[in-house]
Amino acid sequence: MTLKLPIYMDNHATTPVDPRVLEQMLPYFTEKFGNAASRNHSFGWTAEAAVEKAREQVAALIGADPKEIVFTSGATESNNLAVKGSALFLKDKGKHLVTSKIEHKAVLDSCRALEREGFEVTYLDPARDGLIDPAKVQAALRPDTILVSVMFANNEIGTINDVSAIGALCRERGIYFHTDAVQGLGKVPFDVNAVKADLVSITAHKMYGPKGVGALYVRRKPRVRLAPQMDGGGHERGLRSGTLNVPSIVGLGAAAELARLEMPTEMVRIKGMRDRLRARIEAAVPKAVLNGHPEKRLPGNLNLSFAYGEGESMLMALKDVAVSSGSACTSASLEPSYVLRALGIGDDLAHSSIRFGIGRFNTEEEVDFVADLVIRKVAKLRELSPLWEMVQEGIDPNTVQWAAH
């Protein structure tokens, strides 16, 4: 089999729509185009039935009741609705929130917005391995804490948090627990009742569904109440007004069902490819440092720092492979990844990080191609690197007093 280039290995950023998902979506663009809110004709009933089926499919993936699923435009909206919606609803009960420094920006910036409204937020540091310690969450809780928001799996380093322990702490105290689960859902098992989650953010495009559609799980027992962030026709139990995006919701449902059915075999297959990639690279590249916990991570995630090689030039060297880097140079801000910085790994290693995201459509041939390419290109970049030269001469660049610039 010949490889088709470029190879896509950035499945934490987004995933392609599975053709089986697309096939189920297509009729809802054309012949089944009805508005799910039209109650008085068959076009509306057909659309509504499709939406309700998708609601069941999404609920089944996370062990929820379909009535607890609220469709949204994606995880950014779900995170905004969960964080701002619960805080604003509960503002008379308390004004303190707890979250972590490695959350998605949609959670962090929602928290910042609430701080401007007079709320207080505690931002927890992850451990060096990227995990959020439940004991730290517990220590941060106060009598006026109303919401804890800690992600299920991290998008950069793939670490999977002990959300069940955090959920239990919150439930005992009657504090809402929100988890942004977009990276983990459909990849590893997640059950809202085992986790005792009150609010769960879901998106389709990280699990082979379309972009622009997602959902928020909102617990009914004990009842979780939110202040809606969108005013209008009162769709989705009044929590999210706006005509439902029927074809995309059908796609989200189909993607959730495929992910649930194939998870047992896919987890093993994808983890096998990830482990193969890691083993091949580490066998040939000295000083390749794994970022994040070695086991408690998503099956498809590999995040490595290639010390003394810079991330953006690595991406340039890997031009036939789509991966991403925590290097500053890949962002407009010139700051290295805030997630990697929060781990305390040092800016130099953050600049040298590459995130590989292996997914459903990757093959072992692709993994071998990428491993070989990485091995060759890291060697080439280190040949160019004055830091690597110092290391070869026995000088540790960390002991050099560099001038900041």
Partner 1 sequence: MSYSTKVIDHYENPRNVGTLDRNDPNVGTGLVGAPACGDVMKLQIRISDSGIIEDARFKTFGCGSAIASSSLVTEWVKGKSVDEAEKIKNQDIARELSLPPVKIHCSVLAEDAIKAAIADYRKKKGEAIQAPSTAGEAHAREAFDPARGA
Q: Which helix (H) or strand (E) holds 111?
A: helix 105-116
Nearest in space to 256 (alpha carbons), one of 71, 29, 84, 9: 71
C-beta of 265 vs 333, nearer to partner 1: 333
Nearest in space to 349 (alpha carbons), one of 379, 326, 319: 326
List 120, 162, 282, 389, residue binding partner 1 (CB under 8 A): 389
**Is 267 near partner 1 (CB under 8 A)?**
no
* Number of amino acids touching partner 1 (CB under 8 A): 38
Q: How far is the CB of 405 from partner 1 (least distance, A)?
A: 5
Three-state secondary structure call for residue 390:
helix
Site string for partner 1, 293-312 (x = CB under 8 A): ---------------xxxxx
Site string for partner 1, 334-363 (x = CB under 8 A): x-x---------xxx--x------------
Contact in structure between 181 and 107 (CB atoms under 8 Å) = no
List 92, 231, 295, 393, residue binding partner 1 (CB under 8 A): 393
Which segment (35-43, 249-257, 270-278, 329-337) binds partner 1 by CB under 8 A?
Answer: 329-337
Q: What are phi and psi of 302, to 5 degrees?
A: -135, 120
C-beta of 194 vs 375, nearer to partner 1: 375
**Is 385 near partner 1 (CB under 8 A)?**
yes
Q: How far is the CB of 386 from partner 1 (least distance, A)?
A: 4
C-beta of 208 vs 388, nearer to partner 1: 388
Contact in structure between 151 and 100 (CB atoms under 8 Å) = yes
Please name the residue ranges forming H helices in 285-385: 311-317, 338-343, 347-351, 364-383
Site string for partner 1, 120-159 (x = CB under 8 A): ----------------------------------------
From the number of C-beta atoms within 10 Å of its C-beta (0-12, 13-18, 19+), residue 286 rates as exposed
**Is 5 near partner 1 (CB under 8 A)?**
no
- Structure tokens given for 403: 């001038």
**Is 403 near partner 1 (CB under 8 A)?**
yes
C-beta of 279 vs 395, nearer to partner 1: 395
List 313, 324, 337, 362, residue binding partner 1 (CB under 8 A): 313
C-beta of 180 vs 310, nearer to partner 1: 310
Q: How far is the CB of 315 from partner 1 (least distance, A)?
A: 9
**Is 329 near partner 1 (CB under 8 A)?**
yes
- Structure tokens given for 185: 């859902």
C-beta of 257 vs 310, nearer to partner 1: 310
Q: How far apart are the first and last CA of the chain?
A: 49
Q: Which helix (H) or strand (E) holds 303?
A: strand 301-306
**Is 10 near partner 1 (CB under 8 A)?**
no
List 330, 338, 369, 373, residue binding partner 1 (CB under 8 A): 330
Which segment (170-178, 194-202, 365-373, 377-385) binds partner 1 by CB under 8 A?
Answer: 377-385
**Is 386 near partner 1 (CB under 8 A)?**
yes
Q: How many helices (H) and strands (E) does the chain have?
A: 13, 13
Residue burial 137-168, b: 16+ Cβ < 10 Å; e: rest: bbebbeeebbbbbbbbbbbbbbbbbbbebbbb
Please name the residue ranges forming H helices in 5-101: 19-25, 42-62, 75-89
- Structure tokens given for 63: 């062990």
C-beta of 230 vs 329, nearer to partner 1: 329
Placement of tokens 């060096």 in the chain: 128
- Structure tokens given for 25: 């979506």
Q: Which residues are catalytic?
A: 329
Measured at the CA of 76, the angle between CA 179 and CA 63, to 5 degrees, comes to: 40
Residues that bind partner 1 (CB under 8 A): 308-313, 316, 327-330, 332, 334, 336, 346-348, 351, 383-390, 393, 395-405
